[in-house]
Structure 1
Amino acid sequence: MSDDLTGTTEIRLCCLLWARPGQEAGLAAYEDTVLALVAEHGGEVLQRAASDGADGHPHEVQLYRFGSSGDLDGYLADPRRTALAAERDRVVERTELFPVQVR
């Protein structure tokens, strides 16, 4: 995280996602939809990687940054995103989200 000249703090996050059994494609499709909204909220998807989920590993790993906590809050509250809550619950079994420093 770093301060810019306006005093806002950039946020960098890692998100680990596990699909419900048999919903790997559904998880990817849901993420395609909601991650398309990130840029509209001052964010950027830095990296997105998929795995087969073997041995309990996540099915998807994402790294992204937001210009400020307000930008992140705006993304999380976006009505297009929140309208998909039932779809998310249907395809996503577990999520871990935590701040990181990208080196």
Structure 2
Amino acid sequence: MTVQLCVLLWARPGAAEAMAAYEDKVLALLGEHGGRVVQRARADGADGRPDEIQLIEFAGQDGYDAFMKDGRRVALADERDATVARTDLYPVTLSGA
């Protein structure tokens, strides 16, 4: 069954560009796990809003699990911790509308 997610990301103060660069690296791994970015948008992070919003889709749960455990992604944990203050992840159903 397809796994569809909405990811909201908040950068640490002054780290929005570095967070986007980190996300570029990890999102590049999605295809190897049957995943893809459906949409990615950057916001201003003002007034509690996230700095980045992503809609991501995986062909199945196994692909998502493999992505989360990917050694290259895990090796970037320090970079993630230095740039990402908060992540909210929600399962969603994507529509064509």
Q: State if a TM-score over 0.5 links the two structures.
A: yes
Match of residue 37, structure 2, among 41, 45, 61? 45
Task: Tell me the distance in 1 between the aligned counterparts of 2:36 and 2:81.
Answer: 24
Q: Match of 1:32, SS?
A: helix
Task: Tell me the distance in 2 between the aligned counterparts of 1:52 and 1:68.
Answer: 32
Displacement of 1:31 = 0.2
2:17 alignment partner AA: A
Would you identify which runs of 4 or more consecutive aligned residues in structure 1 move more than 3 Å? none
Match of residue 67, structure 1, among 59, 64, 74? 59
2:83 alignment partner AA: V
Q: TM-score, normalised by structure 1?
A: 0.91
Partner in structure 2 of residue 92 of structure 1: 84
2:33 alignment partner AA: H
Count of aligned pairs: 95
Partner in structure 2 of residue 78 of structure 1: 70
Task: Tell me the distance in 2 between the aligned counterparts of 1:101 and 1:42.
Answer: 17
Q: Which has the larger radius of gyration?
A: 1
1:55 alignment partner AA: D
5+ residue gaps, structure 1, are 1-8
Find out whether 1:19 has 2:15 as its counterpart: no
Q: Percent identity?
A: 55
Match of residue 33, structure 1, among 11, 16, 25? 25
Q: TM-score, normalised by structure 2?
A: 0.97
5+ residue gaps, structure 2, are none
**Aligned-pair RMSD on alpha carbons?**
0.4
